[in-house]
Amino acid sequence: MNQNYKLLISYDGTRYHGWEAKPDAEMTVEGKMETVLARMAGHPVKLTGAGRTDAGVHARGMAANMFLDMEMSEEEIRSYLNRYLPEDICVLEVKKVSERFHARYNAAGKTYRYTCYCGPVKPVFDRKYVCVLEREPDVARMRKAAAYLTGEHDFASFCGNPKMKKSTVRTVTSIEIARNGPYFYFTYQGDGFLNHMVRILTGTLLEVGYGMRSPESMTKLLDARNRAEAGYLMPARGLCLMEVYYS
């Protein structure tokens, strides 16, 4: 009998073409995992992720689920996967769940973090995980702008997919902007995020921090529903999916 399993996964997305397996892209996180799962099970295994991360984006807490008919324990499955997966993908947890559990449809929300660096020397060992800023932004101005962006809004101006046909309304529960020495952390929690949304939000907030926009202009920007009105698309390397929430 097929058992449904929930997986908690972390990965360094630097060398991958995103999470989702694609026919024309061999290097995807989902593709690598399904290859190892097929070897373990002796037949193809479909892995369903909680969402899709873009090429170069990282994850500390991606969730996924799969159905298996095997005698192996959860610990044995995790051990097998970690033994044969590349060193930049790790399965943190394997847990039996109900047949009805679906990693994407049952997700109640996600937390993403974008990390920037602004210091006198190059961040050699963090270079794959931060975006280097040429000058320091004003955190107080960015926090003021972030307050206009929290809540339920139509985030069409922050959507990187111009052909988006589904609703672009999302609820952003919180946007926290913190500084620790030369590091700037933008943490977003919400019920869902559009294509490139977090990276565009961060680029727009940085423009506020540099005095290129006013915090109050966020209201007009949301009303515009026009990607061309929003800010810069930040590089993928600074973005990390921190957690997927389930009710």
Question: DSSP labels for 43-87?
Answer: S----EESS-PPTT-EEEEEEEEEEE--S--HHHHHHHHHHHS-T
Is 54 a catalytic site residue? Answer: yes
What pLDDT, on a 0 to 100 scale, did the predictor assign at position 24? 67
Phi, psi of 120 (to 5 degrees): -75, -20
Ordered by start, the domain boundaries in the chain are: 3-97, 108-246
On the question of pLDDT at 60 being above 70, the answer is yes
Q: Which CATH number fits domain 108-246: 1.10.10.1100, 2.30.40.10, 3.30.70.660, 1.20.200.10?
A: 3.30.70.660
Is the pLDDT confidence value at 23 over 80?
no
Q: Do domains 3-97 and 108-246 have the same CATH topology?
A: yes
Per-residue pLDDT band at 134 (split at 50, 70, 90): very high
Let me know: does 221 contact 214? Beta carbons within 8 Å: no
**Rounded mean pLDDT of 142-151?**
98
Tokens in use for 39?
Answer: 């070897």
pLDDT tens for 184-208 read 999 999 999 999 999 999 999 999 9
Is the model's pLDDT at 226 over the cut of 70?
Answer: yes
pLDDT tens, position by position, 74-133: 999 999 999 999 999 999 999 999 999 999 999 999 999 999 999 999 999 999 999 999
Angle at CA of residue 156, ends 152 and 159, nearest 5°:
110
Domain 3-97 has CATH 2.60.120.10: no
Q: What is the dihedral of CA 242, 207, 176, 6, to 10 degrees?
A: -20
Of 54, 88, 126, 191, which one is the catalytic site residue?
54
For 101-135, give one letter per residue: b (16+ CB within 10 A) or e. bebeebbebbbbbbbbbbeeeebeeeeebbbbbee
